[in-house]
Amino acid sequence: MKRILILGSTGSIGINTLEVIKKFPDKFNIESLTVNSNIDLLEKQIYDFNPAKVVVKNVSKAKELKERVGNKCEVLSGEEGLIEITKDGNYEVLISALVGFAGLFPTIEAVKLGKRIALANKETLVVAGEIITDLVQKHNAEIIPVDSEHSAIFQCLVGEKVSEIRKLILTASGGPFFKLDEKEFKGVTITQALNHPNWDMGDKVTIDSATMMNKGLEVIEAHWLFNLPRKKIDVVVHPQSIIHSMVEFIDASIKAQLSTPDMKLPIQYALSYPERLESEFVETNFPQLEKLTFYEPDLTKFKCLKLAYDVLELGGTNPCILNAANEIAVDGFLKEKIKFNQIPDVISESLENIRNHTTLELGSIFECDESTRKFAQSFINKEY
C-alpha cells in the first residue's frame, strides 16, 4: 500500500490522479492533498479519500474549510503548510502537480527525503534542473515523469541503456494553430487558444501548447530527466497525439510508446512503476485510426519553441527567465492585456533585460524568478 501526497489535487492532473487511485483502493491511499483555493472540490475530495492532512494555500480559504470539516482532517495553510506537509515524509509518492514555479520548493523537500516524485510540474526541472538532478542523486530519490511525452520516453528506456540512445524524438500535437498562418496569430481569441485538439488540460498548459512553449519546456525537461544535450532531442509535430514520444537508439532502431490520449495512463504508470496495473483506459484500435502524420515544427512561426531551444543552450538562469516571463505573458493573454503573438515578445524582452546568473543556486533562481516577473509585468503594463 503506497501512501500518496498530491500537490494540486483540484487541478487536471490532481483530479485524474484521484480517479486512478479510486480504482486501486488496495494499492494506493491518499495521505494528504493540497490546493490553492478551491475548497469546495477539496471538501468533496476529503470525504471521498479521507486524507490525514490537507493544505489550502489561501489562508482565509483554509480557515473557511477548517470550519466546514472540523475534525475530519487537519487543515494547514500557506506556503509553510506546503513545505510542512512535504517535509513530514508520511508518504511514499509525491504527485508534483502544481502549475508553474510554485511547484519547485515543495518538490525539493520530497527529493531531500529520497521519495518517489511523480513529476507533472515541468517548471521544477526547467528552472532548477541541475540542482534537482544533483539532489535526486545525493538522496537516492526517484523522478518518474507524468507528462505523456516523458513517460513515453521513460517507458521506451525500460531495459535499455542510456548510453545507447542516439536521440529522443518528442512528439507535439502542434496545438490548435499548427495550420494557422502566422499573420493570424495576433487575432487569436482566448477561446480559440484554449481549444486544444487532443488533450484536456489546465489553462496555462493549454496556452503553452498553443504557442508550443509547452514543447520547449518539455525539451528542457527531457534534457535534465535523461541527461542528454539539446542536439540529441528532436521535436516532431504529430497532430494525432497517438505516438507520445520515441527514442532512437544507436543502431537506428526506434522505440515508441502509444495510446489513445488519456493522462490517467502516465499517471498510473508513475504510481505503479515498475509494475503495470490492469486498467480500462480506452484501447487503441489501429484500423480505426485514420492515419498518423508527422511534420517539422515551424520555428519562425512558433517563436516560443525557438526561445526554449536557445535558453537550453545558454543555460544558467536563462531557462528561469524564460519560464517566469512566459507565466506572466500567458496570464496577460488570458486577462486580455496582450495579444497571442505578443507572448514571445514579452519573453524575448525579459531575456534581454534580466541578468543571467551562471552559477545556479536556489537563492539566485528565486531572485531571478521574482525580478523577471516584475519586469515582464511592467513591460506589459507599459507597452501594451
Contacts with a second copy by CB under 8 A lie at 155-156, 158-161, 164, 169, 236-238, 243, 246, 248-260, 262, 265, 268-269, 272, 275-284, 286-287, 289-296
Q: Minimum CB separation from a second copy for residue 235, in Å?
A: 10
Of 89, 97, 93, 9, which Cα lies nearest the Cα of 49?
A: 9
First to last CA, the chain: 53
When the beta carbons of 190 and 236 are compared against a second copy, the nearer one is: 236
In 81-201 the beta strands, taken as DSSP E runs, fall at: 93-96, 116-119, 142-145, 165-172
When the beta carbons of 188 and 246 are compared against a second copy, the nearer one is: 246
When the beta carbons of 236 and 314 are compared against a second copy, the nearer one is: 236
351: left (phi over 0), alpha (psi -120 to 50) or beta: alpha
When the beta carbons of 206 and 240 are compared against a second copy, the nearer one is: 240
Q: Minimum CB separation from a second copy for residue 156, in Å?
A: 7
8: left (phi over 0), alpha (psi -120 to 50) or beta: left
Report yes or no: 103 and 123 within 8 Å, Cβ to Cβ: yes
Helix axes 39-49, 12-23, angle to 10 degrees: 10
Q: Minimum CB separation from a second copy for residue 276, in Å?
A: 4
Q: Minimum CB separation from a second copy for residue 335, in Å?
A: 36
353: left (phi over 0), alpha (psi -120 to 50) or beta: alpha
Locate 284 and state its grid cell. Answer: 487503441
Q: Minimum CB separation from a second copy for residue 252, in Å?
A: 4
When the beta carbons of 106 and 239 are compared against a second copy, the nearer one is: 239
Q: Minimum CB separation from a second copy for residue 263, in Å?
A: 13
Of 197, 204, 191, which Cα lies nearest the Cα of 176?
A: 197
